[in-house]
Structure 1
Amino acid sequence: MKKLYKIGDISKLYNISNDILRYYEKIGLLAPDVRGENGYRYYSEKQLWKLNNIRSLRSLGVGLKEIIDFLHTRSIKKTEEMIEFQLKKIDENLKELLKLKNELELKKENIRYFENFSKYEIPEIKFFSERSILLKKGEFKDESEINLELKKLKRSSEEDNDFIFTKSEIGTLIKLEEWEKGNYFNYMGTFVITDEIKNSILESGEYLTYFFRGDYNFTEKHYITLKKYMNEKGYRAKGDIIELYHIEMHITENKEEYVTEIQIPLEKI
């Protein structure tokens, strides 16, 4: 006599809800082998084999309709095609996981770098080559709005990772005219520095760079310091002001741990 399993046994064995098993039965995907007079559903080894296949195919992104078609019309040719499909999906998943692993390792290195970084609040002039960015224009003024704009930007970049923008540097732009008037929180766009999907650039040239730690609410004092430095050295800003967020709300809730880099494109007066 073949061994039969109650729906509750299958639910516990495969960590799958009774409701999902009933739904599979409703759509003709996995019917119980026997239904007792008491209304209980009983599954045989044959159903366990089917459920193993269903779970395997679902984990690879195969739709329920395609799974039903495969299980109901199995043949050597169909099985070969399904195996080829599974192998292809596994290769794709491995490629994506390896990419994510590499990006997370870079992000970890970046966090460790700033844990040991000491050159805060020191103005430095550096040359940057042209950088490609994915820019999302919009007007906003505070941290929550910045986060919302970055989420919109994330959708535009078709990234799947909801944790952080792994390897990409993220930032905002302040229009030069607003910055000159002292409106340091009137942002006009968010961006990601990337070579993959791009729609704008940060121009090459000399930039005044400056790192600071802490809450964005103290940004004004840093800009006052930088304007004084520029006047003393005979420079002025020649383009929109860049803020890069190296350590931010996606990494820590402690605002004292935030690390922001200011980059101001320069020209001699």
Structure 2
Amino acid sequence: MKLSIGEVARLFNISKDTLRYYDKIGILKPVVNKENGYRFYDIRHLEQLGLILGIKYLGISLSEIKEIIENGDIEDYYNLMQKQKDIIKERILELKKLEESLDNSGQVINRIMNFKNQYNFSKVNIENLDLKLYEVKVRSALDLENESKVEKKLIELKDEAYFYFYEIKDNKHIIEEENLLFIKSNEDIEKFLKKSKNKDKITFKSIQGKFALVDFYGTVEEIHNYILSMNKYFRVDKDNYAFIEYEFYLPKKREEVKYFVRIYLSL
């Protein structure tokens, strides 16, 4: 069977230029008819092209593929297969994490669809909490000039949403610490920090005592007003604090962004 460059391009849903480039760099050279200069591909080429595209999809460079093809060493091919398997395992883990994230988001959205804000503060849950929250700079969370590998690892190991610290001043103003966020301690984080040489660089807040816990859906301004109303209702000191757990946000084109949050107000 002989196939033209156009037929192979259509068969693998790639461009003719891609095939010409593979020919140019020497990783897939078609057979050339010496009489008329006609170039064609056979079954062997199709198998090789399938292998090249599969390897390239996994992020292995063309230069590495070329080196293995040119050497033709069976051990190199075996090592390449092992590398492919490792990459596939990593991708599977990434996809599983993505699936879990989508499932969690779906559950939160279902809650929001049937959710009504609680304005009867007598029905708000009161709990005694004992939490350990690790401090992370927002710059690290956004991965901008990430200087701390420890902070980056904490972000990877978190299993809940981020927490933000709100300071209540004179029962009139909310001051948000915009440059910091907090991650709730879990077993994986504690195991990591126990082994880390840089654990002393990470600070944490120990949150203990009685808190009013309630979910709320609204804009930032509405969240602030709600917290102030809660603080007045519970007759807490005028200077107080709350932790806010941002579980979901809904971007809107013409309105302010709405957030689904859990409020932890110190009592």
The residue aligned with 1:77 is 75
Which is worse superposed, 36-45 or 219-228? Answer: 36-45
The residue aligned with 2:164 is 172
The residue aligned with 1:259 is 260
Read off the aligned partner of 1:209 and give its amino acid letter.
L
2:217 maps to 1:226:
no
2:206 maps to 1:209:
no
Report the Cα distance in structure 1 between the residues aligned to 2:231 and 2:73, rounded to whole angstroms: 75
- Render the CA deviation track for 1:187-219: whole Å, top value 9, x for unaligned: 342344464568443423222323222222323
Contact 1:170 1:190 in 2 (8 A): yes
TM normalised by structure 1 equals: 0.70
CA offset at residue 134 of structure 1? 5.5
Contact 1:107 1:166 in 2 (8 A): no
Equivalent position SS for 1:169:
coil
Contact 2:172 2:228 in 1 (8 A): no
CA offset at residue 55 of structure 1? 1.1
TM normalised by structure 2 equals: 0.71
Report the Cα distance in structure 1 between the residues aligned to 2:11 and 2:158, rounded to whole angstroms: 37
Equivalent position SS for 2:59:
coil
Report the Cα distance in structure 1 between the residues aligned to 2:171 and 2:60, rounded to whole angstroms: 56
Inter-CA distance 130–221: structure 2 relative to 1 (3 Å threshold): closer
Q: CA RMSD, aligned part only?
A: 3.9
Report the Cα distance in structure 1 between the residues aligned to 2:87 and 2:163, rounded to whole angstroms: 34
CA offset at residue 185 of structure 1? 5.6
Contact 1:247 1:259 in 2 (8 A): yes
The correspondence for 1:19, drawn from 17, 20, 32, is 17
Contact 2:242 2:263 in 1 (8 A): yes
CA offset at residue 228 of structure 1? 0.8
Inter-CA distance 186–179: structure 2 relative to 1 (3 Å threshold): farther
Report the Cα distance in structure 2 between the residues aligned to 1:15 and 1:24, rounded to whole angstroms: 15
Report the Cα distance in structure 2 between the residues aligned to 1:101 and 1:11, rounded to whole angstroms: 33
List gaps (5 residues or longer) in structure 2. Answer: 194-201
Contact 1:35 1:41 in 2 (8 A): yes
Equivalent position SS for 2:162:
strand
Read off the aligned partner of 1:115 and give its amino acid letter.
M
Inter-CA distance 193–179: structure 2 relative to 1 (3 Å threshold): farther
The residue aligned with 1:124 is 125
The residue aligned with 2:104 is 106
Report the Cα distance in structure 2 between the residues aligned to 1:222 and 1:87, rounded to whole angstroms: 52
Inter-CA distance 236–62: structure 2 relative to 1 (3 Å threshold): same
